[in-house]
Chain A
Amino acid sequence: MKKPVIDAQNVDLTFQTNDGPVHALKDVNLQINKGDFVSFIGPSGCGKTTFLRCIAGLETPTGGSLTVNGLTPEEARKSRSYGYVFQAAGLYPWRTIAGNIKLPLEIMDFPKAEMDKRVEKVLDLVDLKGFGRKYPWQLSGGMQQRASIARALAFDAEILLMDEPFGALDEIVRDKLNEELLKLWAATDKTIGFVTHSIPEAVYLSTKIVVMSPRPGRITDVIESPLPKERPLDIRDTPEFIEIAHRVRDGLRAGHDV
Chain B
Amino acid sequence: MRPDTTFEKIVWPVGFGLLVLVLWEVIVRVFGVSPAILPPPSAIAAAMAGSLPILWEDWVQTVVKGALNGLWMGTLAALILALIIDRFDFLKRGLMPVANFFAALPIVGLAPIMVMWFGFDWHSKAAVVAIMVFFPMLVNILGGLAAVDPMHRDLMRTYGATHIQTLHKLRGPAALPFLFNGLKIATSLALIGAIVAEYFGSPIRGMGFRITTEMGRLATDMVWAEIVVSAVTGTALYGLVAGIEKRVTFWHPSQRG
Which residues of A approach B to under 8 Å, CB–CB? Answer: 56-58, 77-80, 82-84, 86-88, 90, 92-94, 103-104, 106-108, 135, 137, 155
Apart from A90-B155, A93-B252, 13 more pairs, CB < 8 Å:
A57-B157, A58-B157, A77-B158, A83-B158, A84-B154, A84-B155, A84-B158, A86-B151, A88-B151, A90-B152, A93-B251, A94-B249, A107-B159
B13 within 8 A of A: no
**Closest Cβ–Cβ distance, residue A46 to chain B (whole Å):** 20
Q: Looking at the complex, which one of A77, A93, A106 makes contact with B160 (CB distance below 8 Å)?
A: A77
Check if B161 sits within 8 Å of A107, measured CB to CB. yes
A155 CA / B149 CA spacing, docked (Å): 23
In the bound complex, residues from chain B placing their C-beta under 8 Å from that of A84 are: 154-155, 158
Q: Which of B170-227 contact A (CB under 8 A)?
A: 170, 173
A-B contacts, 22 of them at CB < 8 A, read A57-B157, A77-B160, A79-B160, A82-B158, A83-B158, A84-B154, A84-B158, A90-B151, A90-B155, A92-B152, A92-B170, A93-B251, A94-B173, A94-B249, A103-B159, A103-B169, A107-B156, A107-B159, A107-B160, A107-B165, A108-B159, A137-B251
Check if A86 sits within 8 Å of B155, measured CB to CB. yes
Contact with A along B124-164 (1 / 0, CB 8 A): 00000000000000000000000001011011111111000
A138 CA / B161 CA spacing, docked (Å): 27
In the bound complex, residues from chain A placing their C-beta under 8 Å from that of B170 are: 92
Check if B151 sits within 8 Å of A56, measured CB to CB. no
Check if A80 sits within 8 Å of B169, measured CB to CB. no
Check if B158 sits within 8 Å of A56, measured CB to CB. yes
A190 CA / B74 CA spacing, docked (Å): 52
B256 within 8 A of A: yes
A44 CA / B158 CA spacing, docked (Å): 24
In the bound complex, residues from chain B placing their C-beta under 8 Å from that of A107 are: 156, 159-161, 165, 169
A58 CA / B150 CA spacing, docked (Å): 11
In the bound complex, residues from chain A placing their C-beta under 8 Å from that of B159 are: 80, 103-104, 107-108, 155
A153 CA / B215 CA spacing, docked (Å): 71
Q: A84-B154, A86-B155 are in contact. Are A92 and B173 (CB under 8 A)?
A: yes
Check if A78 sits within 8 Å of B158, measured CB to CB. no
A107 CA / B151 CA spacing, docked (Å): 17
In the bound complex, residues from chain A placing their C-beta under 8 Å from that of B154 are: 58, 84, 86
In the bound complex, residues from chain B placing their C-beta under 8 Å from that of A87 are: 151
A135 CA / B252 CA spacing, docked (Å): 11
A84 CA / B156 CA spacing, docked (Å): 10
**Closest Cβ–Cβ distance, residue B57 to chain A (whole Å):** 42
**Closest Cβ–Cβ distance, residue B209 to chain A (whole Å):** 44
In the bound complex, residues from chain B placing their C-beta under 8 Å from that of A58 are: 154, 157-158
In the bound complex, residues from chain A placing their C-beta under 8 Å from that of B158 are: 56, 58, 77, 82-84
A241 CA / B156 CA spacing, docked (Å): 38
